[in-house]
Structure 1
């Protein structure tokens, strides 16, 4: 099991939880497990989310391996420039 922290508005879409535990080996697994467990999160995940893994932000690196030793934060994808 790994822990995923939910940032900002994502919390309200996940039953007001700021951290959840899921089984996952990659960021794709994290994304898919959260979509399945929290159906209200799925539309936001489909629009785009980013993950911070140990302080580095990943946008589309779905095959990145994650372990319970990683600090993982999911946040809405930032847009603009």
Structure 2
């Protein structure tokens, strides 16, 4: 399945400055693996050392927060939009 991944400014150094890239995968974990194959280093910014989503990174498939869906096993249907959004802290 081909999806469109929106890349936040902080991670665009891995995508050559691109704000959106295509990736392949039937579930989010496969999409992230494909991103890593094509944009080395990006997975380490999204996943922690145990392979789970980092605590302060939010990922959406279309409008659904994957933390409230199936996490890394959330389906990514053909044409879906995946958004990686770093959490913002402050008061």
> Is the TM value for this pair above 0.5?
yes
Deviation at 1:80, TM superposition (A): 5.8
Structure 1 length as normaliser, TM-score? 0.76
Backbone CA RMSD of aligned residues: 2.3
Deviation at 1:55, TM superposition (A): 1.8
Deviations 1:48-70 (A, max 9, x none): 24311222222470111111232
Whether contact under 8 Å (2:8, 2:84) holds in the other structure is yes
Q: Once superposed, which parts of structure 1, at least 4 consecutive aligned residues long, lie more than 6 Å away?
A: none
Task: Indicate the residue corresponding to 1:57 in structure 2.
Answer: 65
Deviations 1:15-70 (A, max 9, x none): 11111112110000111111221113133123424311222222470111111232
Structure 2 residue runs without a partner (length 5+)? 49-53
Report which of the two structures shows the higher radius of gyration computed on alpha carbons: 2
Partner SS for 1:62: helix
Structure 1 residue runs without a partner (length 5+)? none
Task: Indicate the residue corresponding to 1:25 in structure 2.
Answer: 26
Structure 2 length as normaliser, TM-score? 0.69
